[in-house]
RNA sequence: UGGGGAAUAGCCAAAUGGCAAGGCAACGGGUUUUGGUCCCGUGACUGGAGGUUCGAAUCCUCCUUCCCCAGCCA
């Protein structure tokens, strides 16, 4: 069997390693820090790591990088696991934690001390910063740099025992204070943090830094390819140094460019801030670029995976258009979502020549893209609702929906012709009066006359009501982080990112819709049932609109 | 003005010295009981300047621009 590999520099590198015998198996890993929810950028990394493992007949581990108990929480661990599973990936029994390796890491640290390659430093954080030098000036060695091995060992053990206060001492690697690579200027390996850890409780009061823990964790797990983002490229010499000093398994690190999306922020820090400031309801607010937000919004795992695959992977900084993601959402939903009729902004239509008290059950196709989806009946009667936008008293050019004197088709029902409108005392249209042609039942005219458009509708008597939440971009600008002097991303928020409409009229077949069910509201968009929805009060989220040429034509006419 | 990366169409991205893939967007047209879907068509001399070569996006030289690094964050 030949495996067809996608061509990108990561896969090419792995293929080469296998061919040259650098490794004879592939083991990747996805290493999230449980300090927030996963977002679409993580999805890119998840897809990359799990799919590569699969393609090369290898494994992908899940490992939580839980080295900083001041920021990490169990609830994030739970959410991360749920999101990865939902995306469709399986780490089987390989659920690991950097904290699993705390003993081993401690042992390694003592080993480095004994080799004279690490020392306990009493400098304050501010002093360490000063001694480090700058981008253009070399650093200055710490006065504690030449402590004896015995003293270092004693001090480090005392740190572990809790004899010193937070911040008073650290363990540092002894590398090169004048290295042009700042990461090699005696980086901190351990800090004192008298803080309980979600997994190790109060066992430790010293915690390894990411730079110290990460590479060794990969090594311990026998990872062959440590795929990470570009900003770690200049940490690689440090990771190599640790591994070489320790003489342990040496994974190959491959760096790729992280995903940026227009109109969205991908920083967990800022996402947390949006949650804390209650700008969004929570991490799973459908406007959030989080995986859980997208799930709640109605995006499918397949759409996200197709997107991740389509954007590819490279080392060039990139900002993908948000519309590209939406394209894959529509593409997947077009195949899967049952069609229904729902009127978001209803206006009443009375069919004057239709008999009072009669109800017809008309046949409607559930999904023209999927014949196995079958058909259903939709009730029709004298009074119906249509979309407010589908009527114009003074039609603009190219408007070929309903207007006084025009004839349109009601989907699956009849041709109707508008005769007149009734207005209230403020001049607002409250009723549209039409006549129908009984010959056109089902939507075709026996005389083959054509009609310029087809409208969706809901029988007034049979309509069920729902709340519908219309989401729009959270930010107004393509790069929300790019702001003028004295401003920040909050100034770029879209005040209209959520519009709620309450009296939408839905066809009765929707009465039993359950949370996360997805539908296409014909001619409007894709919608899914929100988790707030109950049988008494249905709540829908707009996942994404349908592509809308009429909007384009309209905006061109206006400009 | 230290170190590490990156430059191919509006966006993403192929190409591995041999006539510059593909997707999205945009634009034009066809089909259509969703102004949806679907189908057809339209766009590049590869950041710049030199050089090597029969031949360069690919190799060499110089230049320009952008991104990352001075946490006891990851």
**pLDDT tens sequence across A397-446:** 999 999 999 999 999 999 999 999 999 999 999 999 999 999 999 999 99
**pLDDT tens sequence across A342-388:** 999 999 999 999 999 999 999 999 999 999 999 999 999 999 999 99
DSSP structure class, residue A322: H
Give the CA-to-C1' distance from A307 to B23 in angstroms.
10
Are A310 and A328 in contact, with CB atoms under 8 Å apart? yes
Mean pLDDT of A286-309: 98
* A269: nt with nearest C1' to CA: B73
Q: Give chain B positions with protein CB within 7 A.
A: 1-8, 10-16, 22-27, 33-38, 66-74
* A98: nt with nearest C1' to CA: B74
Helix (H) or strand (E) holding A228: strand A225-229
Partner residues linked to A451 by β-bridges: none
* A71: nt with nearest C1' to CA: B73
What is the pLDDT at residue A486? 84
Burial of A348 (0-12, 13-18, 19+ CB in 10 A): middle
Give the CA-to-C1' distance from A411 to B27 in angstroms.
30
Partner residues linked to A342 by β-bridges: A506
Partner residues linked to A466 by β-bridges: A504, A538
**DSSP secondary structure string for all residues of A336-348:** HPPEE-EESSEEE
Mean pLDDT of A494-511: 97
Could you tell me the residue ranges of all domains in chain A? Answer: 9-261, 334-341+465-559, 345-463
Are A250 and A71 in contact, with CB atoms under 8 Å apart? no
Give the CA-to-C1' distance from A325 to B69 in angstroms.
31
Measuring CA to CA, which residue among A30, A195, A32, A212 is closest to residue A105? A212
* A129: nt with nearest C1' to CA: B70
**pLDDT tens sequence across A121-147:** 999 999 999 999 999 999 999 999 999
User: Which residues have CB under 8 Å from A336's CB, separation 6+?
Assistant: A300, A370, A518
What token pair was written down for A522? Answer: 């014909």
Q: Which fold has domain A9-261?
A: Rossmann fold (3.40.50)
Weakest mean pLDDT among A187-196, A206-215, A274-283, A483-492? A483-492
* A212: nt with nearest C1' to CA: B74
Residue closest to B24 C1′ by Cα: A324
* A168: nt with nearest C1' to CA: B72
Q: Is the pTM of this model over 0.95?
A: yes
User: Which residues have CB under 8 Å from A525's CB, separation 6+?
Assistant: A542, A543, A544, A545, A546
* A441: nt with nearest C1' to CA: B33
Mean pLDDT of A164-176: 98
Which superfamily is assigned to A334-341+465-559 in CATH? Ribosomal Protein L25; Chain P (2.40.240.10)
User: Rounded CA gap, A335 and A328, in Å?
Assistant: 11
Give the CA-to-C1' distance from A226 to B61 in angstroms.
35
Give the CA-to-C1' distance from A526 to B42 in angstroms.
31
Give the CA-to-C1' distance from A86 to B36 in angstroms.
28
Residue closest to B68 C1′ by Cα: A231
Give the CA-to-C1' distance from A229 to B39 in angstroms.
41
Q: Is A464 helix (H, G, I), strand (E, B) or coil?
A: strand
Q: State the pLDDT confidence band at A1, using cuts at 50, 70 and 90.
A: very low
Give the CA-to-C1' distance from A435 to B42 in angstroms.
45
CATH: 1.10.730.10, 1.10.238.10, 2.40.10.120, 2.40.240.10. Which one for A345-463?
2.40.240.10
Burial of A545 (0-12, 13-18, 19+ CB in 10 A): middle
Give the CA-to-C1' distance from A479 to B56 in angstroms.
36
Q: Which residue has the tokens 């008298």?
A: A194
**pLDDT tens sequence across A68-112:** 999 999 999 999 999 999 999 999 999 999 999 999 999 999 999
Whether A291 has a pLDDT exceeding 60, the answer reads yes
SS3 content of chain A, % helix, strand, coil (to 5): 35, 25, 45
Residue closest to B74 C1′ by Cα: A210
Count of beta carbons in the 10 Å neighbourhood of residue A20: 8
CATH topology agreement for domains A334-341+465-559 and A345-463: yes
Q: Is A17 helix (H, G, I), strand (E, B) or coil?
A: helix
First-to-final CA distance of chain A: 58
User: Which residues have CB under 8 Å from A224's CB, separation 6+?
Assistant: A14, A17, A23, A25, A26, A27, A28, A58, A251, A252
The residues of A that are catalytic are: 33, 258, 268
**pLDDT tens sequence across A523-554:** 999 999 999 999 899 999 999 999 999 999 99
Residue closest to B10 C1′ by Cα: A321
Continuous H helices in A88-146? 102-114, 125-132
Q: Cα-flanking dihedrals φ and ψ of residue A544, to 5°?
A: -165, 150
What is the pLDDT at residue A3? 37
What is the pLDDT at residue A557? 84
What is the pLDDT at residue A6? 67
User: Rounded CA gap, A59 and A46, in Å?
Assistant: 13
User: Rounded CA gap, A209 and A201, in Å?
Assistant: 18
Whether A5 has a pLDDT exceeding 60, the answer reads no
């Amino acid at each position: 069997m030949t495996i067809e590999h996608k061509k990108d520099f990561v896969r090419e590198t792995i293929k080469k390693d296998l061919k040259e015998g650098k490794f004879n198996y592939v083991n990747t890993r996805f290493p999230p820090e449980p300090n927030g929810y996963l977002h679409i950028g993580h999805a890119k990394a998840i897809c990359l790591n799990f799919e590569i493992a699969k393609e090369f007949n290898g494994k992908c581990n899940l490992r939580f990088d839980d080295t900083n108990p001041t920021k990490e929480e169990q609830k994030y661990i739970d959410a991360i696991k749920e999101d990865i599973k939902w995306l469709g990936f399986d780490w089987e029994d390989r659920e690991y934690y950097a904290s699993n390796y705390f003993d081993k890491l401690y042992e390694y640290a003592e080993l480095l001390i004994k080799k004279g390659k690490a020392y306990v430093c009493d400098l304050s954080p501010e002093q360490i910063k000063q001694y480090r030098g700058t981008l253009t000036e070399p650093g200055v060695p710490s006065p504690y740099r030449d402590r004896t091995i015995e003293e270092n060992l004693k001090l480090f053990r005392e740190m572990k025992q809790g004899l010193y206060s937070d911040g008073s001492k650290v363990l540092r690697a002894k590398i090169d204070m004048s290295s042009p690579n700042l990461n090699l200027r005696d980086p901190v390996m351990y800090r004192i943090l008298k803080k309980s850890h979600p997994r190790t409780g109060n066992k430790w009061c010293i915690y390894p830094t990411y730079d110290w823990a990460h590479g060794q964790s990969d090594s311990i797990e026998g990872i062959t390819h440590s795929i990470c983002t570009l900003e770690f490229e200049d940490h690689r010499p440090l990771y190599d140094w640790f591994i070489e000093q320790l003489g342990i398994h040496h994974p190959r690190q491959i760096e790729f460019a992280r995903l940026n999306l227009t109109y969205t922020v991908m920083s967990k820090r800022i996402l947390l801030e949006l949650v804390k400031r209650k700008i969004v309801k929570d991490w799973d607010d459908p406007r959030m670029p989080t995986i859980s937000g997208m799930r709640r919004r109605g995006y499918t795992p397949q759409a996200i995976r197709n997107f991740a695959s389509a954007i590819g992977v490279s080392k060039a900084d990139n900002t993908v258009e948000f519309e590209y993601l939406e394209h894959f959402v529509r593409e997947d939903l077009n195949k899967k979502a049952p069609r229904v009729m729902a009127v978001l902004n209803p206006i009443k239509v009375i069919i004057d020549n239709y008999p009072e008290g009669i109800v017809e059950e008309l046949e409607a196709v559930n999904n023209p893209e999927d014949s196995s989806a079958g058909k259903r009946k939709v009730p029709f009667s004298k009074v119906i609702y249509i979309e407010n936008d589908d009527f114009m008293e003074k039609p603009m050019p190219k408007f070929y929906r309903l207007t006084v004197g025009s004839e349109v088709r009601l989907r699956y029902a009849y041709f109707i012709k508008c005769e007149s409108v009734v207005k209230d005392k403020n001049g607002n249209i409250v009723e549209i009066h039409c006549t129908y042609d009984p010959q056109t039942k089902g939507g075709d005219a026996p005389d083959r006359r054509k009609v310029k458009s087809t409208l969706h509708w809901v029988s007034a008597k049979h309509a069920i009501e729902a709340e519908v939440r219309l989401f729009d971009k959270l930010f107004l600008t393509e790069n929300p982080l790019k702001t003028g002097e004295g401003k920040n991303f909050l100034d770029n928020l879209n005040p209209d990112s959520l519009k709620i409409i309450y009296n939408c009229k839905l066809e009765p077949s929707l009465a039993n819709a359950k949370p996360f069910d997805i539908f296409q509201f014909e001619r409007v968009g894709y919608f899914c049932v929100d988790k707030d929805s109950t049988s008494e009060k249905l709540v829908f989220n707009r996942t994404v609109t349908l592509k809308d040429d009429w909007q384009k034509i309209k905006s061109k006419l206006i400009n």
